[in-house]
Amino acid sequence: MGDPSGVGPEIICKAAAALSPQQRQQLLVVGGIEFLRATDESLKTGLAFGTVTGTGDVLVVDVSAPEADTIVTGQVSPGGGHAAYAYVECAAQMALDRTIEVIVTAPLNKAALHAAGHKYDGHTGLLQHLCRASSSFMLLASPTLSAIHVSTHVSLQDAIDRCRPDRIVDTISVAADHLRLLGVTRPRVAVAGLNPHCGEGGIFGRQEIEQIEPAVATARDLGIDVKGPIAADTVFYRATRGEFDVVVAQYHDQGHIPMKLLAFDTTVNVSLGLPIRRTSVDHGTAFDIAGTGQADHGNLLAALEYARRWVTADSG
């Protein structure tokens, strides 16, 4: 459910109401049932939320969390951070136990998470910790454009330091494997450069020559259809024209800005490299409109649809 202070409860209620009865039967919400019931009442969506041992239109694993009584809609609080952490922890264990097939996350707030003492960079890093995975990757996927990131929630200096051949090869490979699973026979991968104009032959930096080019060559030796490095100011345009299936972005904003510009409402955040499946909305808690009924649930519906597609492909 994400942080209950944000729009998570609202978009869950709206999305659940938009699903067919058959789809709702496949849905299990991990969160606080009273938050959902109160939100449903205010929205007048007419859903009955029940616990897993009872009945209802939507079943809920009702998770208690420290300081839940201090949570206020639209405000950052340790209580909201504790709740978001507890929900993810429960869902991750259920996924590891194969009680559920895939996690779809509503947004949490990093400031609240940190205020509660949970020092993670967001859902992806938290899930990597809970799954005891050595690494993880963030893929932003949409019908218009898709991008996977070599690094995400780190400083720009740390992102430069993480632009290493081994990490770039792993990012390319994970993206290609995932696209093949989803039915793309021979994924076409483009790798963005780090520096302006890919460094102009070393004038603006040598990462392209010393780190990215060797990584692309290694990935090509593995049989992957990959090109790069390609200047970041043109590679995303070329991808939207159909030349590539996914772009490897070297850092957070390099990939996020074109994705949100071109496909803000349809982009799904996908965690790869973990022993579980997870998709998410690609927006934040929106505290400024939480509790007002204005939140758009379209992105959550897209994340749910991607999750169903992923499970179907993985199972078949």
Show the tokens assigned to 228.
Answer: 């790069």
**Residue 177 shares a structural domain with residue 58:** no
Strand partners, 50: 59
pLDDT tens by residue, 84-104: 999 999 999 999 999 999 999
H-run or E-run covering 165: helix 165-181
* Residue found under tokens 């992806």: 124
Together in a domain, 217 and 250: yes
Structure tokens at 88: 């993810």
Q: Are residues 43 and 115 in the same domain?
A: yes
Q: Domain of 165: which CATH number?
A: 3.40.718.10
pTM reported for the whole predicted model: 0.94
Neighbours of 264 (CB within 10 A): 12
pLDDT by position in tens, the chain (length 316)? 999 999 999 999 999 999 999 999 999 999 999 999 999 999 999 999 999 888 899 999 999 988 888 999 999 999 999 999 999 999 999 999 999 999 999 999 999 999 999 999 889 999 999 999 999 999 999 999 999 999 999 999 999 999 999 999 999 999 999 999 999 999 999 999 999 999 999 999 999 999 999 999 999 999 999 999 999 999 999 999 999 999 999 999 999 999 999 998 899 999 999 999 999 999 999 999 999 999 999 999 999 999 999 999 987 6
Number of domains in the chain: 2
Say whether both 251 and 204 belong to one domain. yes
Are 151 and 113 part of one and the same domain? Answer: no
* One domain, residues 43 and 97: yes
Instruction: Give the Cα separation of 35 and 6 in Å (integer).
Output: 11
- Among 69, 98, 133, the domain-final residue is 133
282 contacts 104 by C-beta, under 8 angstroms: no
Question: How far, in Å, CA of 308 to CA of 107, rounded?
Answer: 19
The string of DSSP letters for 97-164 reads TTSSS-EEEPP--HHHHHHTT---SSHHHHHHHHTT-S--EEEEE-SS-EEEES--SS-HHHHHHT--
Q: Which domain holds residue 185?
A: 137-272
- Cβ(283)–Cβ(269) under 8 Å? no
Regarding whether 125 and 10 lie in a shared domain, the answer is: yes
Are 59 and 146 part of one and the same domain? no
Structure tokens at 277: 């499946």
**Residue 148 belongs to some domain of the structure:** yes
Quote helix, strand, coil % in the chain, to nearest 5: 45, 15, 40
Best CA proximity match to 235, nearest among 187, 168, 190: 190
Among the three residues 114, 133, 152, which one is the final residue of a domain in this structure?
133
**Cβ 107 vs Cβ 6: under 8 Å:** yes
Judge if 12 and 96 occupy the same domain: yes
Partners of residue 179 on adjacent β-strands: none
| Within-domain flag for 288 | no
Q: Is 109 inside a domain boundary?
A: yes
Domain presence at residue 242:
yes
Strand (E) positions, the chain? 28-31, 49-51, 58-62, 103-105, 137-141, 146-149, 188-192, 225-230, 246-249, 268-272, 278-281
pLDDT in tens, 269-306: 999 999 999 999 999 999 999 999 999 999 999 999 99
| Residue 290 domain flag | no
